[in-house]
Amino acid sequence: MNKQTDAFMGNLRGSTPDAAADVAAIGTPLPHESATLHVSGEAIYTDDIPELAGTLHAALGLSRHAHARIASLDLTAVRNAPGVVAVLTAADIPGENNCGPVLHDDPILADGAVLYLGQPVFAVVAETHEHARRAASLAKSDEVVRYEPLEPVLTVAAAKANKQYVLPPLHLTRGTPASKIASAPHRLQRTFEVGGQEQFYLEGQIAYALPKEMDGMLVHSSTQHPSEMQQVVAHMLGWPTHNVVCECRRMGGGFGGKESQSALFACVAALAAQQLHRPVKLRADRDDDFLITGKRHDALYQYEAGFDEAGRILGARVEIALRAGYSADLSGAVATRAVCHFDNAYYLSDVDIVALACKTNTQSNTAFRGFGGPQGALVMEVMIDDIARELGLDPLDVRLANYYGIGERDVTPYGQRVEDNILAPLTEELLASSDYRARRAARAAFNAKSPVLKRGIAITPVKFGISFNVPFLNQAGALVHVYKDGSVLVNHGGTEMGQGLNTKVAQVVAGELGLALSRVRVTAADTSKVANTSATAASTGSDLNGKAAEAAARTIRERLAALAAKTLGGNAEDVRFEHGSVISNGGAMPFAQLVNAAYLARIQLWSDGFYATPKVHWDAKTLTGHPFYYFAYGAAVSEVVVDTLTGEWKLVRADVLHDAGQSINPAIDLGQVEGGFIQGMGWLTTEELWWNRDGRLMTHAPSTYKIPAVSDTPAAFNVRLYRNENAEPTVFRSKAVGEPPLLLPFSVFLAIRDAIAAAAPEVKSAPPLRAPATPEAILDALEARETQRDANAASPAPSNSTTATAA
Ligand code: MTE
Ligand code: HPA
Ligand code: MOS
């Protein structure tokens, strides 16, 4: 711990109230505002809120079929089960039976038909959680629910073949890609696939609803989007929005999974509370959470590229078929972000991008860190790797040949100019610090002597667009209260999910008022304080809410400065707020003293603040505009060793250089980069979702669904922040950091591919490795490669052919 951190920790423990007074609040690697609470177990999550007397517990009865008509529903046995107080169905919903965030295609409780296996059909309300769960499990009985099964569509390929989409296909073309590909000296055409990913927040979905007087409802919800929870609950009950308050102090992780899909849980808890006039808690068990909620969209790709000798892409086309699941949810915006991230770091003069949101009888896929961006960019990185292997080049050199330029070759396929490009210097710096070229040569020497263990190395860059790609969502509000003793309370529209948003916002306000962080307290997100907030998502939490809080604090500061100038002399504009003091005209007074004087002078000591991101606009018809305020960049070098007999592998070293602009809190930002990297690595390697032929998700618990563990962190994990300032005037010139690092471990996947390639170096084309690169996938790719080697030996291919197709 450094000295500043040490001082702050002391302060957190309450030992020395002003020990942190000299610490500049902003730009300092202070610990998370709840760090000690997280590790001591004192942090209050929704399930830790002391239950009111009379609290009941709800559980959901889930469908057993992926697609069926509900022929009959007889809930007598469920009602008669021990401890049961009530059983609710769609018929009990007074308002609209819908919790869809965009389209109205998301029933809260199934009505007439079920569209996926795991869909909630009824809700049980009982005296205890255990009673509710036992009664809900009667949903498995034929006597309770009888189904007339219909044909389910369970795969992306089947949905695509049926042209079955939740939203119309997206199509973006620039230039003449078909003719550029046709006339290119080299071409390739391939398919690729990547799996989905469960958010696996440590705290599952949960809501606790408390009825209030005059048709009021307070809903404690573990949600990234309190305003939407407020709105869907009100809508479901047929009430005006102002009857409902939604509060969230913190989540034990959201990762996108609580951007929209906390709604079903909030609605069921609130429905039960409204019907029974008692507080009701609904906490989904992990297995139910897996079965009910949507995940990252898995994708099937078809792509094609034409390129020159240097690997420069002359034309490219891709079709990205995403699994949307049974309803639209956020899939439109996810697919749009996929379209806008296919380019990743590369200029594509002539390009054609299609994204399909395929409708299947599976969970409704939703936001997950990166929000379609990873699915868009991954296939580009795979394609570049393919091109390099066809040409026998270092994939790094093909990447560099295609990087966005500065002042030329700098317009994205969707028409936004890349104005803040730092790809080249960032890559240079990482190449030097990671010693990439020498290690690439060393891995070849190692592989030449090692028949079973093969090493692979890869570098991949990231360019990630920051802003909600729906422009109106880019707004935020905050409230700052200064009390008479000079202590400060902040409320803003964002939610805390572990990412450190509250810490950063407190740092911004403390910085603005020249106070130690201990003088600023951030309260729970609460829809009765800031209205009509956006989800804390798209990595924009600190950009938006930091700016809004800064504006509110600035208003108060200006009022105080005027009084200070009057009291101490000097000009209001020259008054400084530093180290807990207010300084003007050579004189100084403690902040608290000035505040008290302001109170006595009847000066308003609280203020709101509002922020709307400038510059962003988007034409959803043409898929062009300026959807992102700016871009965040990064790059990573990963080295793996693969056991070619078992398919097991290990990440031995990763070097990461990531751009967080001028970081508000380097400690928190490094944590985000490390966490995002490991989470993205899990997506591409160990995390595999598997549905059986009935559409039942079989990997619905940690026993069968493997997220990375601490032991999967490489022994050498060199993570650094790139020294930079945002070119745009964001708060403290920082950059959003929540999602972009999830794309860094593309380098892990391609390093595994590199190691597999070394197992049969005679074969020129890239190994057909699917993602996630589980040991099975690795063995399949090794086998395919050996088969290809043997086929090549039997009938050598003409040397000028570079067209390859792989499954
Ligand atoms: N970090 C933690 N610890 N827990 C989370 O749930 N969610 C990620 C990212 N980092 C998440 C996280 C996602 S999906 C987003 S969009 C951002 O945090 C949201 O927070 P921010 O906008 O404040 O960065
Ligand atoms: N990210 C997250 N959520 C969103 C977005 C986005 O870009 N657009 C609309 N909702
Ligand atoms: Mo993050 S996927 O935008 O919640």
**SS3 (DSSP) at 207:** strand
Show which of 563, 578, 612 is a domain's final residue: 612
Lookup: tokens for 624: 């062009």
Query: What residues contact residue 741 under an 8 Å CB cut-off, 6+ apart?
Result: 462, 634, 656, 658, 672, 673, 674, 675, 676, 677, 680
Check pocket membership of 540 for ligand 1, CB cut-off 6 A.
Answer: yes
Assigned domain for 533 exists: yes
Looking at the structure, do residues 546 and 492 belong to the same domain, yes or no? yes
Question: How far is the C-alpha of 790 from the C-alpha of 792, rounded, in Å?
Answer: 5
Q: What is the mean pLDDT of residues 107-122?
A: 98
Least confident of 4-18, 142-156, 186-200, 446-460: 4-18
Are the CB atoms for 371 and 297 separated by under 8 Å?
A: no
pTM, full prediction: 0.96
CA angle in degrees (0–180, nearest 5) for 143-145-147: 115
Q: Which atom of ligand 1 is nearest to the CA of 676?
A: 10
Looking at the structure, do residues 546 and 600 belong to the same domain, yes or no? yes
Tokens 């990763």 map to which residue? 654
Looking at the structure, do residues 594 and 458 belong to the same domain, yes or no? no
Give residue 797's pLDDT band: very low, low, confident or very high (50, 70, 90).
low
Assigned domain for 497 exists: yes
pLDDT on residue 20: 47
Are the CB atoms for 236 and 270 separated by under 8 Å?
A: yes
Residue 695 Cα to ligand 2 midpoint, Å, equals: 28
Looking at the structure, do residues 510 and 591 belong to the same domain, yes or no? yes
Has residue 18 got a pLDDT over 90?
no
CATH number of 456's domain = 3.30.365.10
Per-residue burial over 84-123, b = 16 or more CB atoms within 10 Å of its CB, e = otherwise: bbbbbbbebbeeebbbbbbeeebbbbbeebbbbbbbbbbb
Assigned domain for 674 exists: yes
**SS3 (DSSP) at 81:** coil
Residue 372 Cα to ligand 3 midpoint, Å, equals: 10
Looking at the structure, do residues 564 and 691 belong to the same domain, yes or no? no
pLDDT on residue 6: 43
Tokens 């950009």 map to which residue? 543
Are the CB atoms for 298 and 156 separated by under 8 Å?
A: yes
Check pocket membership of 60 for ligand 3, CB cut-off 6 A.
Answer: no
Which of 201, 205, 225, 255 is the best mutation target for the ligand 1 pocket, counting ligand atoms within 8 Å of the beta carbon and taking the most?
255
Residue 249 Cα to ligand 1 midpoint, Å, equals: 15
Tokens 């959803």 map to which residue? 620
Residue 358 Cα to ligand 3 midpoint, Å, equals: 21
- SS3 for 254-290 is CCCCCCCCCHHHHHHHHHHHHHHCCCEEEECCHHHHH
pLDDT on residue 24: 72
Q: Which atom of ligand 3 is nearest to the CA of 256?
A: 4
pLDDT on residue 23: 63
Per-residue burial over 692-705, b = 16 or more CB atoms within 10 Å of its CB, e = otherwise: eeebbbebbeeeeb
CA angle in degrees (0–180, nearest 5) for 314-320-323: 170
Assigned domain for 181 exists: no
Check pocket membership of 541 for ligand 1, CB cut-off 6 A.
Answer: yes
pLDDT on residue 590: 98
First to last CA, the chain: 50
Show which of 612, 639, 660 is a domain's final residue: 612
Helix 591-600 and helix 541-568, axial crossing angle in degrees, nearest 10: 80
Assigned domain for 678 exists: yes
Give residue 16's pLDDT band: very low, low, confident or very high (50, 70, 90).
very low
Q: pLDDT > 70: what percent of the chain?
A: 96
Shortest CA distance to 456 belongs to which of 705, 97, 160, 747?
A: 747
> If you take atom 1 of ligand 2, which residue's CA is the nearest one?
538
Check pocket membership of 368 for ligand 3, CB cut-off 6 A.
Answer: yes
Query: What residues contact residue 219 under an 8 Å CB cut-off, 6+ apart?
Result: 207, 208, 209, 210, 229, 230, 233, 244, 245, 246, 247, 266, 269, 270
Residue 145 Cα to ligand 2 midpoint, Å, equals: 37
Residue 466 Cα to ligand 2 midpoint, Å, equals: 10
Tens digit of pLDDT for each residue in 389-405?
Answer: 999 999 999 999 999 99
Looking at the structure, do residues 755 and 635 belong to the same domain, yes or no? yes
The tally of domains found in the chain comes to 3
**SS3 (DSSP) at 174:** strand
Has residue 796 got a pLDDT over 90?
no
Question: How far is the C-alpha of 128 from the C-alpha of 450, rounded, in Å?
Answer: 60
Check pocket membership of 665 for ligand 1, CB cut-off 6 A.
Answer: no
Which of 260, 371, 466, 470 is the best mutation target for the ligand 3 pocket, counting ligand atoms within 8 Å of the beta carbon and taking the most?
371
Give residue 177's pLDDT band: very low, low, confident or very high (50, 70, 90).
very high
> If you take atom 2 of ligand 2, which residue's CA is the nearest one?
538
The secondary structure of residue 345, as a DSSP letter, is T
Looking at the structure, do residues 463 and 486 belong to the same domain, yes or no? no
> If you take atom 23 of ligand 1, which residue's CA is the nearest one?
541
The secondary structure of residue 244, as a DSSP letter, is E
Residue 230 Cα to ligand 1 midpoint, Å, equals: 21
pLDDT on residue 32: 97
- SS3 for 547-589 is HHHHHHHHHHHHHHHHHHHHHHCCCHHHCEEECCEEEECCEEE
Has residue 117 got a pLDDT over 70?
yes
Has residue 12 got a pLDDT over 60?
no
Has residue 732 got a pLDDT over 90?
yes
Tens digit of pLDDT for each residue in 351-373?
Answer: 999 999 999 999 999 999 999 99
Has residue 13 got a pLDDT over 50?
no
Q: Where are the beta strands (DSSP E) in 293-415?
A: 299-307, 313-325, 351-359
Beta bridge partners of 476: 611
Which of 369, 505, 611, 731 is the best mutation target for the ligand 1 pocket, counting ligand atoms within 8 Å of the beta carbon and taking the most?
369
Show which of 612, 642, 664 is a domain's final residue: 612
Check pocket membership of 501 for ligand 1, CB cut-off 6 A.
Answer: yes
CA angle in degrees (0–180, nearest 5) for 418-419-422: 85
Assigned domain for 456 exists: yes
Which domain, by its residues, includes 564?
475-612
Has residue 1 got a pLDDT over 90?
no
Looking at the structure, do residues 657 and 776 belong to the same domain, yes or no? yes
Shortest CA distance to 361 belongs to which of 574, 702, 113?
A: 113
Beta bridge partners of 608: 479
Q: Identify the burial level of 67 via C-beta atoms within 10 angstroms of its C-beta, where 0-12 means exposed, 13-18 middle and 19 or more buried.
A: buried
- SS3 for 426-494 is HHHHHHHHHCHHHHHHHHHHHHHHCCCEEEEEEEEEEEEEECCCCHHHCEEEEEEEECCCCCEEEEECC
Has residue 173 got a pLDDT over 70?
yes
> If you take atom 9 of ligand 1, which residue's CA is the nearest one?
738
Check pocket membership of 512 for ligand 3, CB cut-off 6 A.
Answer: no
Looking at the structure, do residues 598 and 680 belong to the same domain, yes or no? no
Tens digit of pLDDT for each residue in 59-71?
Answer: 999 999 999 999 9
Tens digit of pLDDT for each residue in 567-596?
Answer: 999 999 999 999 999 999 999 999 999 999
CA separation (Å) from 158 to 164, 322, 360, 692?
9, 12, 8, 15
Backbone angles phi, psi at 254, to 5 degrees: -135, -55
Shortest CA distance to 682 belongs to which of 657, 645, 659, 710?
A: 710
Assigned domain for 735 exists: yes
Which of 473, 475, 495 is the best mutation target for the ligand 2 pocket, counting ligand atoms within 8 Å of the beta carbon and taking the most?
473
Query: Is-catalytic flag, 786?
Result: no
Smallest-distance ligand from the CA of 334? 2
> If you take atom 8 of ligand 1, which residue's CA is the nearest one?
255
Give the DSSP letter string of 313-330: EEEEEEEEEEEEESS-TT
Has residue 608 got a pLDDT over 70?
yes
Looking at the structure, do residues 541 and 437 belong to the same domain, yes or no? no
Looking at the structure, do residues 585 and 508 belong to the same domain, yes or no? yes
Question: How far is the C-alpha of 614 from the C-alpha of 630, rounded, in Å?
Answer: 11
Q: Which atom of ligand 1 is nearest to the CA of 537?
A: 16
Q: Which atom of ligand 1 is nearest to the CA of 544?
A: 22
**Residues composing the chain:** 807
Check pocket membership of 501 for ligand 3, CB cut-off 6 A.
Answer: no
Question: How far is the C-alpha of 183 from the C-alpha of 407, rounded, in Å?
Answer: 27
Assigned domain for 509 exists: yes
Are the CB atoms for 345 and 461 separated by under 8 Å?
A: yes
> If you take atom 7 of ligand 1, which residue's CA is the nearest one?
255
Active-site residue, from 130, 688, 739, 776: 739
Residue 740 Cα to ligand 1 midpoint, Å, equals: 10
Has residue 799 got a pLDDT over 70?
no
Smallest-distance ligand from the CA of 465? 2
Tens digit of pLDDT for each residue in 646-692?
Answer: 999 999 999 999 999 999 999 999 999 999 999 999 999 999 999 99
Looking at the structure, do residues 788 and 665 belong to the same domain, yes or no? yes
Q: What is the mean pLDDT of residues 631-646?
A: 98
DSSP β-ladder status, 488-492 and 520-522:
parallel
Question: How far is the C-alpha of 503 from the C-alpha of 3, rounded, in Å?
Answer: 18
Give residue 795's pLDDT band: very low, low, confident or very high (50, 70, 90).
confident
Per the model's pLDDT, the better-predicted residue between 761 and 2 turns out to be 761
Residue 629 Cα to ligand 2 midpoint, Å, equals: 14
Q: Identify the burial level of 790 via C-beta atoms within 10 angstroms of its C-beta, where 0-12 means exposed, 13-18 middle and 19 or more buried.
A: exposed
Averaged confidence pLDDT in the chain: 95
